[in-house]
Amino acid sequence: TRVHRSSRVIFAIALVCLSNSAQAREPTEGASLWTGCTADFFSPAYYERYAACRAYVIGIADVLTAGDSVAGRKACIPKAASKADITEKVVAWLEASPDRRNDALAHALVAEAISTAYPCE
């Protein structure tokens, strides 16, 4: 459907942005996502890195909102949740899970963080 195509386009753009980041390793590694999501505000690449992080998170959120699963996870994100709220919840979860950042792929971490923050009842 149209929503699924736009979600996939956003997701693809986010992957390209992450892969173009100067300090990013593999674009699908959790550590690379963490680097982008916590970029130093005063660094020259802050906006690029944080935008890539946010686009990646929102791409996953869009897929989950459409009712699809990501890495075996589902979530029920309320319509009132803003993109900033979702991103902040993911970053907070990543911050609280330092051991997971280095062991898992970014899409699995984001899906886990979102499904933890917005579980389906």
Residues 56-71 pLDDT 10s? 999 999 999 999 999 9
Residues forming beta bridges with residue 105, ordered by sequence position: 29
Cα–Cα distances in angstroms (integers) from residue 53 to residues 1, 2, 64, 105, 120, in the given order: 25, 24, 17, 14, 24
As to burial, measured by CB atoms within 10 angstroms (0-12 exposed, 13-18 middle, 19+ buried), residue 51 is middle
Residues 70-103 pLDDT 10s? 999 999 999 999 999 999 999 999 999 998 888 8
Comparison of pLDDT for 65 and 16, the residue scoring more: 65
- For residue 6, the model assigns a pLDDT of 54
- For residue 4, the model assigns a pLDDT of 54
The residue with tokens 């009842």 is: 121
Asked if 94 contacts 108 with a C-beta cutoff of 8 angstroms, the reply is no
Asked if 46 contacts 87 with a C-beta cutoff of 8 angstroms, the reply is no
Band of pLDDT at residue 23, cut at 50, 70 and 90: very low
Angle at 110 between CA 109 and CA 112, to 5 degrees: 65
Helix residue spans in 21-79 (DSSP H): 30-37, 46-65
Q: What is the mean pLDDT of residues 34-56?
A: 90
